[in-house]
Amino acid sequence: MIRPTKSQLKIRDAAARDLLVVAPAGCGKTEALALRIQGLLQRGDVAGPQKILVTTFSNRARDNIRDRLGDYLPISAMRERVTITNFHGLAARLFRAHANVIDLNADLILPDGDWVGAHARSKGLDFNTTAALQKTLRVVKQEPRTDTEVDSFLQKPGLEGALAVERLRVQEGRLTYDDLPRLAELILAHDAVADLYRAHFGAVVVDEFQDLTPQQLRIVNRIGYKRTTYAGDLAQGIYGFAGAKPIEVHSAIRVECTEAVEFSESHRSSPAVLAMVNAMGPLTGGSALTSADPASWPNAGLAAVAHHQTAEAEGEWVVKVARALVSRASNHRVGVIARTVGRRRFVEAALVAEDVPFFRWDDGILDTDTARAIKSMLAGFDLKRYGAATDKMAFLRDASAFESVTDPRGRESLLDALSWCHDLLRDGASPQEVRGRVRVGDAITLISAAGIHLLTGHVGKGQQFDWVIIVGLEDGVLPDFRATTAEEKTEEARVLSVMMSRARHGVVLNRAASVPTVTGYSKSRPPSPFLSQVAAADPLDSRGLVEWIERADWKAIAER
């Protein structure tokens, strides 16, 4: 039986419908939101037939809230009184129902993947050109512009590539993921539609407010201004590249909400891990956290910083530490996290060289049907014809019999897998190597399996590991060399904080004095300025870490 904390009960019982919940990682936010929804319904603050609208940023977050709600509401109430959706799902619903008010056809093709990226790849555009194209289209569409206004904006000099892609989109009668919120905002600008949704939804709950773009906040406000519960943590705002504006959005929410509840106790992490996360607080804007039950953590947890002469030496050392951890607690998960995939490659090389099994989070974890189609395609793959193909994505679609798949979810899964194959083949992997990396499973398998996991900081957001080993604490890597403004550098500090806060028992930071470039040239790297920040937590050095592992109570750790 789950016993809610005082903060969670305060959120449940808050009379104001405009509520801000500041909930750092591991503080029980999802449980608090489930209780909040229960309280709104049981008190009659949202009376039938009105419903509560819950918005999330991912299907997993949606499913997490739905699972928690099952502990507090009967199935009938969940079905009849609560709508849980991600933002693109909400926008698609608005478009399908009300496209006529903005003079568009509701039968336009809804997105089933990254159409802009797939189109760019089919034209042979390089990574930087593709990224610039996607950013241009994303930025122009994060304002409430009609198709005509978007076209007019893109007629500026230097935007010819984006204009051509946009006109092709309109010609083909399709929408992208950037179009959905743009059109939803235009639709909700019509008072009759907004009034309809305000009458239908008596309250709104937003999970992870720090990931909102200003556009998404405007959509939420049109439906539930002064009736919205916002939950999240400014220190976890790491999606500025996607248009999120954590500080701007947080300021607007502070003005809107009459009451705020702030969590200060972590139920996830040991005191040692929390000390490291708290040390980053002055840079991230995060709240200081304490352990809800510090005595329950054997040896108070682990925090360490290790320095290495080369990235190769770092990779070998990290593998030794990871193996030492999983050999002592075989049920534990060790997350090896880097800012980028490229910086992580030295750990991966060491794992492969020593034949150590691991999970690579950027590999395709495919459902059975998609895996079968990809493996079949790659078994007799004609690499010469593929190399000669002008439109390589079209070649892959034909080779995989993409058009024979009619289920929308199946099409999206297969399209994502084909894009993954394209990227690996472009980077020089052989068809046989790609085929060997296809695994059958699902996200649940990946996030629950014991062992060593390789991932990046953004992919790991929202996940949890028993141990986190972070590599690449060099200036130019973390923080990234492209972070030049104060806002961008703050976001880089948050990326590190998010990485560390994934850990339960222990976190280990690593830096290398010399890191080879992609061409093999060794380049000296100064330490990340963040290392001086976490020094306030008094982490162990590499020798202290080894001694900690040797003297720790592993029976108690494995059971915690």
Confidence of residue 440 (pLDDT cuts 50, 70, 90): low
pLDDT tens for each residue of 442-479:
555 667 789 999 999 988 888 899 999 999 999 999 99
Q: What is the secondary structure of 309-350 as a DSSP string?
A: EEHHHHHHHHHHHHHHHHHH-TT-EEEEEESSHHHHHHHHHH
Distance between CA atoms of residues 100 and 107, nearest Å: 11
Distance between CA atoms of residues 324 and 316, nearest Å: 13
* Residue 1 clears pLDDT 70, i.e. is over it: no
Sign of CA dihedral 75, 76, 77, 82: positive
- Of the candidates 177, 66, 63, the one whose C-alpha atom is nearest the C-alpha of residue 118 is 177
* Residue 368 clears pLDDT 80, i.e. is over it: no
- Of the candidates 265, 260, 232, the one whose C-alpha atom is nearest the C-alpha of residue 14 is 260
Length of the chain: 560
Distance between CA atoms of residues 507 and 323, nearest Å: 15
Neighbours of 430 (CB within 10 A): 13
* CA distances (Å), origin 159, targets 128, 145, 171, 242: 15, 17, 18, 19
Q: Calculate mean pLDDT across residues 347-361.
A: 92
pLDDT tens for each residue of 83-98:
999 898 899 999 999 9
* Residue 62 clears pLDDT 90, i.e. is over it: no
Report yes or no: 372 and 439 within 8 Å, Cβ to Cβ. no
Helix, strand, coil abundance in the chain, percent, nearest 5: 55, 15, 30
Query: What are 247's strand-pairing partners?
Result: none
Distance between CA atoms of residues 179 and 177, nearest Å: 5
Report yes or no: 3 and 71 within 8 Å, Cβ to Cβ. no
Distance between CA atoms of residues 279 and 283, nearest Å: 9
Q: Which segments of 176-321 are extended strands (E)?
A: 201-207, 228-232, 259-262, 265-266, 290-291, 302-310
Can you give the pLDDT at residue 466? 97
pLDDT tens for each residue of 289-313:
999 899 999 989 999 999 999 999 9
Q: Which segments of 348-496 are extended strands (E)?
A: 359-360, 365-366, 439-440, 451-456, 465-471
3-state secondary structure of 517: coil
* CA distances (Å), origin 495, targets 41, 209, 235, 384, 479: 36, 16, 9, 41, 9
Distance between CA atoms of residues 284 and 282, nearest Å: 6
Instruction: Report DSSP state, residue 110.
Output: P
Give the tokens for residue 371.
């895996």
Query: What are 228's strand-pairing partners?
Result: 204
Distance between CA atoms of residues 19 and 262, nearest Å: 11
- Label residue 302 left, alpha or beta by phi (over 0 means left) and psi (-120 to 50 means alpha): beta
The domains located in the chain, with CATH, are 6-90+185-263 (3.40.50.300), 112-174 (no CATH), 271-361+448-559 (3.40.50.300), 365-437 (no CATH)
Instruction: Report DSSP state, residue 270.
Output: -
- Of the candidates 203, 257, 189, 208, the one whose C-alpha atom is nearest the C-alpha of residue 86 is 208
Amino acid at 374: I
For β-strands 503-516 and 522-524, DSSP reports them as antiparallel
Can you give the pLDDT at residue 217? 98
Can you give the pLDDT at residue 98? 97
Can you give the pLDDT at residue 444? 53
Can you give the pLDDT at residue 365? 57
pLDDT tens for each residue of 404-431:
876 656 777 788 788 888 888 987 889 9
